[in-house]
Amino acid sequence: MLRLHRDYLAAATLALVAFALLYANAGMPKPFAAWKWLDIINEGGTAAMAGVWFLITLSSRPGGLVTRLLACGLAFIMLGSWADCLDEFYKIDKAATWDNWLEGLMPLGMLVLTAGLYYWREEQFNVNEHLQKRERLFRDHRGFDRVTQLADAAYLRSQIKLEQRKASLVLLDVDGFHRINREHGQREGDRVLQALGHLLLLNLRNEDLLCRYAGDRFAVLLPGLGVEQARAVATHLCDAAALLRHHAATGVISLSVRYACGEAEGEPEHLLAALGQVLDGAATPHQMEPA
């Protein structure tokens, strides 16, 4: 991951060296007896720890606004502390003010770091919401689909039987998915299914259950929703999928998804078979509930 942030590492390293050269050339070395070791340890230790946090941040995060703010904030704190530490080794003319400006990088870094932490907090809220939508499956510790890491068809059937409230079931099918596998390869087809699974999760409630039913078909169990409401959700999911652009090495892949929905009652096998028949006979992306 550090290789993604080589520019940050190079800039921070050059700044550290430049600060040392600046103090060495512009200042007068203090005698060893005048060194204040407690200040050196405190200020140098702060610079070292900020540098360690800087490296940890860059080694654990992709690029983006949050990473830039966190990294820049920590880098400024490191450089401000480093300048403060160098001041213990070199005597600077009292008329000079540039060393005070350099030491002022520390409060600036704290301000930038605070902004980064705020946006990181917002980012974590979104991640937590995404994970909560998988919680229903995590609690049961049952089979995940190998490709999408969603619940499988067996888990879906068991949840339909256990659902006590009014609920609806939506079955989604990707149009012409076999062409994606043929033209772009099965590995790219699996990546498309993964991307679509994440997209669908982000557009569902926490209590909804998303499963990979079979092949290119996904199933969504919607507790507390009637068929009309489920139809609106399904239409929204299909519209969202239509906006997805998956960038593969062989080109950009667009998707078209159709659906069928019905009340989640009765024998799961019969319900799923009826929805499957509607999809098999569908000629347009959006379909209604089975008769």
pLDDT digits (tens, 9 = 90+) for 136-188: 555 554 557 778 888 888 888 888 888 867 899 999 999 888 888 787 888 88
pLDDT-based confidence at 284, cuts 50/70/90? very low
Separation of CA 119 from chain center: 13
pLDDT recorded at residue 134: 59
Cα 268 from Cα 161, distance rounded (Å): 7
pTM over the 0.85 mark? no
pLDDT recorded at residue 46: 95
pLDDT-based confidence at 222, cuts 50/70/90? very high
Q: What is the average per-residue pLDDT within 243-262?
A: 86
Cα 45 from Cα 277, distance rounded (Å): 69
CA distances from 254 to 72, 223, 224, 282 (A): 37, 30, 32, 19
Cα 10 from Cα 57, distance rounded (Å): 15
CA-nearest of 117, 112, 55, 36 to 80 is 112
Cα 17 from Cα 256, distance rounded (Å): 55
pLDDT-based confidence at 131, cuts 50/70/90? low
CATH class of 142-280: alpha beta
Cα 79 from Cα 99, distance rounded (Å): 12
Per-residue pLDDT for 133 more than 70? no
CB atoms within 10 A of CB 174: 20
Q: Which of 49-53, 139-143, 251-255 shows the lowest per-residue confidence on average (mean pLDDT)?
A: 139-143
CA-nearest of 55, 79, 72 to 2 is 55
CB atoms within 10 A of CB 181: 15
Query: pLDDT of 263-281, one tens digit each?
Result: 988 888 899 999 999 888 7
**Residue ranges covered by each domain of the chain:** 2-132, 142-280
Beta strand spans in 150-215 (E): 167-174, 209-214
pLDDT recorded at residue 285: 45
Identify the three-state secondary structure at position 91. strand
